[in-house]
Amino acid sequence: MTCDEAVRAIEAMLDREIDDDERMQLEAHLAECETCRRETEERRAFSDRIGRDLNDAFPPSTRATPRIVIRPRRSNWVRAAAVILVGFAVGYVGSSTGVFRPASAEAREVAKLSALKDAYQDRSRELADRVEREATALDTRAAQAPDGPRRDAVALCVMKVANGMAGADALELPPEPEKRARKVAEYMSTANLARRGLAIQALRTLPATDMPLVERQIVNLKGTNRTFTELYVLSFKSPTEPVVVMELNGGDLRFTQLANATLRVEAKTASATAAAAPRIYEGLNMLEFRARHPDISKLLDLKGSDGNFTVAGVTQRATAVQCRPVAYMPAVVWSGQERESGRIVEALSVHAVMAECARAGGTVEEAERQGLEVMRRVQEVSTTVYGSVTPDPERVRYHLTRVRNLDSAGLALTRERLHDDVAALERRVIEWQGRLECLHQAAVTLDYQPK
C-alpha cells in the first residue's frame, strides 16, 4: 500500500467503513510509516472537529421549530399544508410535554454504546502503541544482556507477542531454499512486530533441510531475533540420547532424562501378567513433567531443573542435558492468543532462573528457592489492573445528537450492530492486554536479582 492509498484508507478506517483486507494492509503500512501514523492522528482530530462543530451548530433543542407557511399560490395544497400543520402541532405538543423529547431511553442506550465503542477503540490503540514501544525497549535491553537462559526466555516472550500480531496473511516465500531463508531472516530482523510475526510463521513452514541455511542467516540477526532463531534451529538438532538413567524402587520405576531435556518415567504395573506394558509418564522437561504429573513427582520427591535435580533423595548433575528452553517453544510461541499465556511464561521464567542458578553452581534447594521467588514476582505482574473501559460522558452527549432522530427500528438495528462491535473490540483489548502482560513478565525475568 502506498502512502496515497493509505491516506484514503485512513479516512475509511476513521469512518469505521473499512473492510478487513484493507484494514490489514493499512495496519501493515502504518506500522512502518511514521508520516501516515501522524496523518492518521491529524485526520482523526479534523474529522472529530467537523462532527463536533456541525453537531454544535444544530443542537437538538434548537432544531424542529417548524413554521407555518401560507402558500396562496398553491391553494389546492392548503389542505395538505393543514395536515402538516397538524403534524407540527403534534410534534410541538409532544416536545413540550416530553413525549418526543428529550431523547428516548433507547436513544440514550445507543449513544452510550457508541461512546463505549469509541472508548474501546481508544484503549485498543493506546495498548497497541504501548506494546510496540515496550517490545522495542525490551528488545534493546535483551540484546545488551548476556547470553543465557533469561535472555532466551525474553526472546521467546517477545516473539510470542510478535506471532500473535502477524495477522492472517502468510509471507510469500520464493521457491529457492537460500532465497527463502534470506527472506525469513530479512523479515525477522525488522523492528516491526507484525512483520516479525510473519517471519515466525514462515519459519514453521520451512522443511528441516532448510535449517542449515537458516542457521547461516543468524549472523545477520541481533537481539531477541537472533536468540529466537538460534533456539529454533537448535530444536531441530535436539539430541535424543539418554543422559540420566536410574532404576528406582527395586526396578519398578525407570527414570530417564534425554539430552534434549525430555523426561520419562516408566512404572511397572501391578498386573498379574508379567508381560503387561509399563505405564509411561513423559514431560518436555523437568518443570513440565512436575506440573503435568504431580503424583509421580511427589512419589519420586522430584526437585530442581534439567540436569540439576534430586530424585528419590539422589542428586544428579548432568551438563549434557540441553537447558535452553527449546522444549518450551511450542507452548510459548506457537500457542494462539486465546490460550492462557501467563502460566507458560511463568514456567519459562522459573525455568530460566533455575537453569541460571544451576549454571552458577547453585544447589537444587537454592534453584528451587529462586524459582519460587521469580514465580511470585511474575505473578504480581499478571494481576496488574489496566483499568476498566468506560464511555466518556462528552462522547455520550455527542452521539445522542446523532442518534436521537432514529426511529425505534433504526435504534434497535444500530444497538445490535454496536453490541457486536463492542464485543469484538473488547476481545481485541483483552488480546492487547495479554501481550502487554507477557512483555511485563518477561521484563521481570530479565531484571530478576535473587535476594
Partner 1 sequence: MPADESRLVADLRAGRREAFDRMVELHYDRLHRLACTMTGQSEDAADLVQETFLAAMKSAGNFRGEARLTTWLIAICRNQYTLHLRGRRKWRHASLEAAGNARAPEPAPAIRPEVVQILERVHRLPEELRTALVLFYLEGMRYQEIAESMECPVGTIRSRLFEARERLKRMMEGDRP
Contacts to partner 1 by CB under 8 A: 8, 11-12, 15, 17, 43, 46-47, 49-51, 53-71, 73, 77, 80-81, 83-84, 86-88, 90-92, 94, 100, 399, 402-410, 412-413
Task: Give the 3-state secondary structure of residue 245.
Answer: strand
Cα(431)–Cα(127) distance, integer angstroms: 10
User: Measured between alpha carbons, how far is 211 from 232 in angstroms, rounded to an integer?
Assistant: 9
Give the Cα separation of 293 and 99 in Å (integer).
Answer: 68
User: What's the farthest any 2 CA atoms get from each other in the chain?
Assistant: 115
- Nearer to partner 1 by Cβ, of 119 and 158: the residue is 119
CB 196 within 8 A of CB 190: yes
**CB of 402 vs partner 1, minimal distance in Å:** 4
- Distance between CA atoms of residues 246 and 201, nearest Å: 39
Instruction: Considering the complex, state which of residue 41 and residue 365 has its C-beta at the smaller distance from partner 1.
Output: 41
- Closest approach of Cβ 428 to partner 1, in Å? 21
CB of residue 376 to partner 1, shortest distance in Å: 50
> Least Å distance between CB 45 and partner 1?
11
Distance CA 290, CA 311 (A): 12
Residue 426: CB minimum distance to partner 1, A: 22
Phi/psi-derived region of residue 227, left when phi > 0, alpha when psi is between -120 and 50, beta in every other case: alpha
State how far the Cα of 197 lies from the Cα of 169, in Å rounded to an integer. 11
Nearer to partner 1, 42 or 447 (CB): 42
Q: Which is nearer to partner 1, 94 or 450 (CB)?
A: 94
Closest CA to 417 of 51, 122, 117: 117
CA separation for the pair 226, 181 (Å, rounded):
14
User: Whose Cβ is closer to partner 1: residue 91's or residue 177's?
Assistant: 91
Q: Smallest gap, in angstroms, from Cβ of residue 4 to partner 1? A: 11
End-to-end CA distance of the chain: 52
Please say which residue, 73 or 451, places its beta carbon nearer to partner 1. Answer: 73
- Is residue 308 helix, strand or coil? strand
CB of 284 to partner 1, least distance (A): 51
Tell which residue, 309, 305, 256, has the closest CA to residue 281. Answer: 256
Identify which of 36, 224, 246 has the alpha carbon closest to the alpha carbon of residue 134: 224
CA distance 320 to 258: 9
CB of 100 to partner 1, least distance (A): 7
Which residue, 78 or 320, has its beta carbon nearer to partner 1?
Answer: 78
- Which residue's CB is nearer to partner 1, number 99 or number 372? 99
Please give the Cα distance from 54 to 64 (Å, whole number). 16
Q: Which of 267, 272, 255 is nearest to 318 (CA)?
A: 255
Q: Measured from the CB of residue 9, what is the shortest distance to partner 1 in angstroms?
A: 10
Nearer Cβ to partner 1 (332/422): 422
- Residues paired with residue 305 on neighbouring β-strands, in sequence order: 308
